[in-house]
Structure 1
Amino acid sequence: MSYRLLKNMLPVNDEEKKILDGDVKINRKLYMAEETDIINAKLLLKKGKLISVRPHTRFIDFPPHTHDYIEVVYMCLGSSVHTVNGKQILLSEGELLFLSRRATHSIKKSGEKDIAVNFIILPEFFENSLAILEDDTSPLKKFILDSLYLDKGPDYLHFKVANELCIQNLVENLIWTINNDVKNKRMVNRATMELLFLQLLNHTDSLYYDNPEDEAVVKVLKYADENYKNGSLCDVANMLHYDVSWLSREIKRKTGVNYTDIIQAKRLSQAAFYLKNTSFKISDISLMVGYDNVSYFYRLFNAKYGQSPKRFRDCK
């Protein structure tokens, strides 16, 4: 991280001074309503704001808690140890940890040179900020967003992206923009988050998994994105050395749909893109997305979009 940003986080703040002076517990009033373990976004976000960022409090264990918002932890310097639903995670410099609202989260005491920031993000921010991805019905994108926004899928996403310069720059830009008075601040924040998500989707090989089921499903979804025309479940199972029956069950359990549904949705969304953005013949588009039988393609397209491919194109 650039020193210009880091220098503002290194000094001990008032909360940390009290801890160093002898406080042995966090001041719960700063984070939570009475008699709850839910960190309240209203206590951390200014009125009307959908996103904010604050340094993580050092020198003390942060007890188990949940959030009524989506939290993203970025490790600026050093490292920190997190426990999410009983699973321990070492977050190293340059890495990102996305936490869903249902995750029970605690953090071990960190030292003076262990600097992390927490992004506090209301779900509405993702709803409004990811317009650039609306036409991209990537099943992998849906899986990741569902886990955060709809509380499905994994409880956390750990991206080991310390060596990805573009991602590091985007995170630093987001921190800078949130903390400073800049023109078109809300639009800049949304655009930066959109670009960050696009880059993270390009680096799912940097995702760390704590169980083989999540890893398997993400790999299959990435394969479906790239091989929707001809890729079969048997092909991907053989390539990844998974049992086909087991993989089929896990896909259904994790995504709510089967592999054929995933492939079909991707093919049809790609066909819709071609219809909107090219002058290719409809019969050629059918072949390009994997349907040899044009009549069958017409039936599927009409079932999904409520109109024929020709009418869909004419209405663009």
Structure 2
Amino acid sequence: MFTNVAYLHNSLNDMVDTSKSLVVTSCGYYRVHSRPVVSTERPTGRRDYQLLYIAKGKGHFYFDGLQGKETIITEGNMILFRPGEIQFYYYYAPEKTEVYWVHFTGRMVEGILDNYEIPNNKNVFYTGNSPDYAWLYRQIIQELQLCRQNYEELIAITLRHIFIMINRYIKEGKKTGSDIQNEIDRATHYFNENYNKPLNIDEYAESRHMSTCWFIRSFKQILKVTPMQYILSLRMANAQSLLETTEYNISEIAEAVGYDNALYFSRLFHKHVGVSPSEYRKMKSGR
């Protein structure tokens, strides 16, 4: 089993803090692959709130206690426990579960959850399996571990970011379908990480077992641009940043954002931005 956990002020106790609107008290990650079972048993619950995210595998939950019905929660779902709610849940090694969790408190928690339309009549809700969720949880863990300047404020903002993503998914997922939303979220994450490499939409769609036509149509339905238009916008935005903040020549910038041919890059840049890369740099430098 692999764990990565962090606690506010190194305190393992659950706490209630009404001095601020939202306070993150702990956050962690479990990857269950060797230990036979990882169990949590809290017959009287906790005094704070907990939000869990099943990133892979599944969890076995008993919301009415061990005498009640078992509920198997699969990846892409979040589980919210409010103060005082019974908590019995288990992860088993053969299922190779990966789960993130965060505990929080504050004087305005219910109002914040209501503002982002987090369901208040059920513990479990599907939010999709966007890689961004895991990244946000990891950011909270890191900030709690490093305790840098203003970290308590930052982790509260990051938790709100998670709430915003849940709200966005609940609203957009109903319109587009959860499977489509998941695929487009995954695609945009991949393109953001790899925009400066050769990208082939046919090959990407095939790697995700989708038809190219379906992928392009679904991508445009949600983001209002085609995948290649999206990739182009990423390349041009980053080229603009490099022109403004570095002394790299045009060929170096072209290569940095994914183009071997500097002349071709310059033509695309002019078409997209309205001026050549050289003119853009002069405009931004004031020379």
Structure with larger RCO (C-alpha < 8 A, sep 6+):
2
TM-score tier by shorter-chain length is 0.3 to 0.5
